[in-house]
A and B are shown apart, each in its own frame.
Chain A
Amino acid sequence: MTSFALLFTLSAVGIAEMVYLIRTRVAAEQPICPIGGGCQIVLTSKWSKIFVIPNDILGLLNYIGIAFLSAFLVIDIGPTNLWFLFLEIIIAATSLLSLFFVYLQWKIIKAWCFWCVMSACTFWLMGVIILVSAIA
């Protein structure tokens, strides 16, 4: 229960963050960049989309999926084993993808985006929570 509550909380933070990024992109505004200062460079780079879908939309869908799956597991709506497997797969995949995006910012784009790094940390933290809950 505690691990799912944490996953739900982190996904809610992620949803708020992604909605902010989508809104600023749609309004053609520059997002506030508290640390790093390279948000605009990263968010307008050619790596800001996977095929034609912007990463912020993919991130939002991901966070919504995690929020729903953790809520289903808390409420105990079956099939819980399948939901947990989906949760593990989504978090593992996005944690690895986040590693790739951080590498891109570091070595290829050579600029840091606060929101992207925060999102990566959120997914890694989710991964740690899943690992710890599996061990415990």
Chain B
Amino acid sequence: MKRTSFHILRVGVAITFIWIGVLIFKTPEAWGGYLQPWAAGLLPIPIAQAMIGTAILDIAIGLLLLIDSFVWLAALVGAIHIIIVLTVSGITDITVRDIAIFTVAIALMAESLPKTFTDKIMSWQKQENNGRPPEIN
């Protein structure tokens, strides 16, 4: 991915996460209404409190993405967060757009993984390829 595209995506998704966090802070109960009854029943705390926790998480993810620090971690947590959102609220007319945010988070994570981690994956792949018998055509 080109660095310019990476930074445009990073800032765009950061703004989305922070802004959603701010909006949840405004009306946590209303946002809690998106939860499916089975998911709301699993919560050990009131919905409003759970939504405020979600808002704080959203803002934290957005801030890390915005200031370009621990992007891989923020994007990973963001992607997991979006999967949970899609699971507990279902894919509706509104949450269908979260699929785009999810894929962007995955792309940002893949692009910003620490070098030590990508080196490890490469060495595993090499080891696997070396141990494999040659292909017969």
Chain A residues packing against B (C-beta within 8 Å): 5, 8-9, 12-13, 15-16, 19-20, 23, 71, 74-76
Q: How far is the CA of A75 from the CA of B52 in the complex (A)?
A: 13
Q: How far is the CA of A82 from the CA of B45 in the complex (A)?
A: 35
Q: A8-B18, A8-B22, A76-B26 are in contact. List 17 more A-B contacts (CB 8 A).
A: A5-B19, A8-B15, A12-B14, A12-B18, A12-B66, A13-B11, A15-B66, A15-B67, A16-B7, A16-B11, A16-B66, A19-B66, A19-B67, A74-B23, A75-B22, A75-B25, A75-B26
Interface size class of B (residues with CB under 8 A): 10 to 19
Q: Are A20 and B68 in contact (CB under 8 A)?
A: yes
Does more than half of chain B's interface fall in helix, strand or loop, or is it mixed?
helix
* 8 pairs of A and B residues whose beta carbons are closest in the complex: A12-B15, A16-B11, A75-B26, A19-B67, A71-B22, A75-B25, A16-B66, A9-B15
- Residue from B15, B18, B25, B26 having most chain A Cβ neighbours under 10 A: B15
Q: Are A13 and B15 in contact (CB under 8 A)?
A: yes
CB < 8 Å neighbour of B11 from A12, A71, A76: A12
B19: A residues at CB distance < 8 A: 5, 8-9
